Chains A and B, each alone.
Chain A
């Protein structure tokens, strides 16, 4: 779907240029009926889909809230399970507050870092856009899965994980639970930036594609792990081994 930016070169005639404007489908069409029809079909389709789903799939509803009966595992809704997954690997202040705040601030900052207008309105910007996005997603996924596995199975005395291992070797809690996670969360995007810059001679927009792909892949991987691969005691488990509903039969 990537379309190369067709920058008219010097010496091209005005007619060539105007033809390119036409080819880019910039010619205006009436919103009625060209766009409103698509919007109507979209709204009807999603309404129909949700209606069918509402008929056949019941929204979850369990026994009444009981502060004495803690389900195992206790989970937040799916869009927060990425954060809940982070909670297993670092200090709660970092996972629950600092990381989500930083993610929102950095997302908001994207257009103030990548200021150039070049590439507006073009899927994946350039021929390099798709390979960079795919590479970034794979690179991020490998890092995420690797760190999750190491943190789950690295033996450290009675416990498992990187933080207990560091503490066993005399490092402080702050170092193990705050500095080391921050180090990895910075290392992955930073190393990705450097690789993309060297391998593809990426410009700012292409580096931004790498960074967003890092965010998106991390969100998806952590959410899937948190949702489908965390069972009793939030230990790694296969989806079919996770107790459901988590507090036993109704």
Chain B
């Protein structure tokens, strides 16, 4: 077994994909982070406290992962779904009764959507109560608030698509609210509905928002959010703002020493 494993990992193909050996020492553990597209979102090392579950509860990561699950299950749903008022409902019936794993993946998409809204709300609450929004992370908090809005809109725009009673009337309630916008209520309602009542134009608008525009907006905002985490000094750690300069220098020197170790 181990000889087969050795044969695979020493092959030219394997080495063309993974340039580093399995990370076992300081150097390779750094290399694996730096040389991987997904992992290089992380710094090579983080303060010990950042790995404590009770500090972050992993909520930002869970929100991101539910987004990945939603994208994967969502693509599957798009193979069967037809966004017309005549067909939408029946394609879901067909999906649930005639497609292998159809009901499973639709259920998963629905529950993951709720989970994502919950995870984003919980992540915001965690960041607030740990004071992780404070400068220099102030603008990243604003991006986070925008992501909360986009998450809710993603979930809400998907709500109409099954074209059942629940979908139709939830959107009717939403339109009632949007239509009450001061001064431009009529225009807002018209833009959201694509007409005077919920119909084919509404469905295609919300479908387009749900499968293209809002996911792209979320990806762009998430990319900025993660990038800013790194640029704003990685995960939040206690600061010693009230101390004199000499103390601050001592702490900084100590941290550098530790990083060099």
Contacts and interface: CB of A to CB of B under 8 A. Distances in A.
A7 B141 contact: no
A interface, size bucket: 35 or more
A159 B47 CA distance: 61
Interface in B179-225: 180-182, 185, 197-198
Given A25-B48, A63-B165, A108 B145 contact: yes
A93 B89 contact: no
Contacts of B138: 111-112
A8 B65 contact: no
Interface in A45-72: 46-47, 50-51, 53-55, 57-67, 69-71
A57 B23 contact: no
Interface string A218-245: 0000000000000000000000000001
Contact of B44 (A27, A30, A124, A212): A30
A67 B145 contact: no
A67 B167 CA distance: 11
Interface string B155-166: 110010011111
B82 interface: no
Given A26-B48, A53-B107, A114-B134, A76 B164 contact: no
A36 to B, nearest CB: 7
Contacts of B52: 25
A58 B259 contact: no
Given A80-B156, A119-B134, A245-B165, A29 B51 contact: yes
Q: Determine chain B's interface SS by DSSP, over half rule.
A: helix
Contacts of A7: 240, 242-243
Contact of B128 (A5, A10, A110): A110
A27 B257 CA distance: 10
Interface string A72-109: 00111111100110010001110111100000100110
Interface stretch (A13-21, A145-153, A182-190, A193-201): A13-21
Contact of B131 (A28, A93, A125): A125
Contacts of B54: 1
B107 A57 contact: yes
A77 B168 contact: no
Interface in B230-247: 235-244, 247
A203 B172 CA distance: 44
Contacts of B111: 50, 53-54, 57, 59
B238 A29 contact: no
A112 B142 CA distance: 10
A71 to B, nearest CB: 5
B237 A24 contact: yes
A59 B110 contact: yes
A133 interface: yes
B65 A46 contact: yes
A213 to B, nearest CB: 9
Given A67-B168, A96-B176, A111-B134, A32 B29 contact: yes
B57 to A, nearest CB: 9
B184 to A, nearest CB: 10
A43 interface: yes
What 4 A-B pairs are tightest by C-beta distance, nearest first? Answer: A96-B177, A111-B138, A92-B180, A65-B168
Given A46-B115, A60-B166, A80-B152, 14 more contacts: A7-B243, A26-B237, A31-B42, A46-B65, A57-B111, A61-B96, A66-B165, A79-B121, A80-B156, A96-B180, A97-B178, A97-B180, A115-B135, A212-B125
9 contacts: A18-B251, A21-B255, A26-B258, A28-B259, A87-B177, A91-B180, A96-B176, A121-B239, A245-B165
